[in-house]
């Protein structure tokens, strides 16, 4: 029996159209106390919406493990048992704690998971007109010391050795959640997407039209302007830490909401630090650390980690980058 070549051609054309059909869907929602935006490219809207909900569930699962604000979480249990006893935690909590302690070690305490115990003597709502006293500052950091976080990875326990200590993951938790949501989406067969965890961004693949994901690095000195447009077409991540959204200005000097855990004094050396690499968790750790370390020590740190790139914006508007 002879085939009709016209029918075969039409069938092949239609099959090609249906096989390549895709949608790009985005959902914005509040998670971990911040605004998250989840974008994925999938075969149809129904499938995309279902997978986005799974990404949201994954982020909520993480928050229910590591939030120091929710009373039922493992980290809240660790904080409530400070100076009393070690607390059994999941291996996942051990792993993220190890990452936080890693940053503490390589920055010699410029990054510290226990900074959440610091007394709230700084206000970044425009009401501060004078610096806190030296006594207030010393008192505020009395319970801050990452060396008093005892992590027993073999037995999967965490013990804060002093009463009144607290630990938390505000500096790397959202980046970690972005990484985990990306990993889940990839495991579910989603070929491309972007997880924007309140500015901690993880991408994979390209946009639906094949164009790379484009992310602008804000220029706080020029409203609506950017200092760099980043283009990602693979597994990439980017985070920015800065002093231009939350700060206190006292006697003409700007004090960032990012505080040095060792001194109790906010960072003042840089306006923003953007880090680009594969892991949003790692990028966030580096960007926060460099805001505290300052330009020279920060660049020295990044030279030891060449797989991560930086865009540093100084207080006089100078842009320093290594890519």
**pLDDT bracket for residue 320 (50, 70, 90):** very high
| Domain total of the chain | 1
| Full domain range(s) for residue 117 | 74-160
- Which pLDDT does position 19 carry in this prediction? 45
Cα dihedral sign, 224-225-228-229: positive
Decide if 317 is inside a domain. Answer: no
pLDDT in tens, 200-238: 999 999 999 999 999 999 999 998 899 999 999 999 999
Decide if 129 is inside a domain. Answer: yes
Decide if 141 is inside a domain. Answer: yes
Q: In CATH, what number is assigned to the domain containing residue 155?
A: 1.10.3980.10
Q: What residues contact 277, with CB distance under 8 A and at least 6 apart?
A: 236, 237, 283, 286, 307, 308, 309
Q: What is the mean pLDDT of residues 5-18?
A: 43
pLDDT in tens, 68-106: 999 999 999 999 999 999 999 999 999 999 999 999 999
Look at residue 15 and tell me whether its pLDDT is greater than 70: no
Decide if 55 is inside a domain. Answer: no
Look at residue 10 and tell me whether its pLDDT is greater than 90: no
Decide if 295 is inside a domain. Answer: no
Write the DSSP assignment of 190-249 as a string of letters: --EEEEEETTEEEEES--TTSPPEEEEEE-TTSTT-EEEEEEESSSEEEEEEESSSSEEE
- Which pLDDT does position 17 carry in this prediction? 42
Decide if 269 is inside a domain. Answer: no
Decide if 134 is inside a domain. Answer: yes
pTM: 0.91
- Which pLDDT does position 50 carry in this prediction? 98
């Amino acid at each position: 029996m002879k085939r009709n070549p016209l029918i075969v051609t039409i069938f092949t054309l239609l099959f090609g159209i249906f096989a390549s059909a895709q949608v790009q869907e985005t959902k914005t929602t509040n998670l971990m106390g911040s605004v998250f935006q989840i974008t994925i490219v999938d075969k149809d809207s129904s499938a995309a919406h279902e997978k986005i909900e799974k990404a949201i569930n994954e982020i909520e699962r993480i928050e229910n493990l590591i939030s120091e604000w929710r009373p039922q979480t493992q980290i809240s249990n660790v904080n409530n048992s400070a100076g009393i006893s070690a607390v059994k935690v999941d291996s996942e909590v051990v792993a993220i704690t190890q990452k936080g302690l890693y940053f503490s070690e390589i920055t010699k305490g410029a990054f510290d998971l226990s900074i959440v115990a610091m007394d709230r003597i700084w206000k970044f709502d425009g009401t501060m007109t004078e610096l806190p006293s030296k006594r207030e500052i010393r008192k505020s950091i009395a319970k801050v010391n990452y060396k008093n976080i005892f992590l027993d990875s073999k037995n999967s326990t965490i013990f804060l050795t002093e009463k009144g200590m607290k630990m938390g993951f505000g500096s790397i938790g959202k980046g970690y959640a972005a990484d985990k949501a990306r990993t889940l989406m990839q495991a579910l067969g989603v070929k491309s997407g972007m997880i924007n965890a309140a500015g901690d961004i993880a991408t994979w693949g390209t946009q639906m039209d094949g164009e790379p994901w484009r992310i602008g690095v804000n220029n706080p000195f020029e409203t609506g302007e950017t200092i760099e447009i980043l283009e990602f077409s693979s597994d990439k991540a980017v985070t920015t830490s800065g002093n231009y959204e939350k700060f206190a200005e006292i006697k003409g000097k700007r004090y960032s909401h990012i505080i040095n855990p060792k001194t109790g004094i906010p960072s003042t050396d840089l306006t923003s630090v953007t880090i680009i690499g594969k892991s949003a968790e790692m990028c966030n750790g580096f960007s926060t650390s460099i805001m505290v370390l300052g330009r020279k020590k920060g660049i020295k740190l990044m030279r030891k980690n060449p797989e991560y790139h930086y865009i540093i914006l100084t207080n006089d508007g100078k842009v320093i980058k290594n890519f």
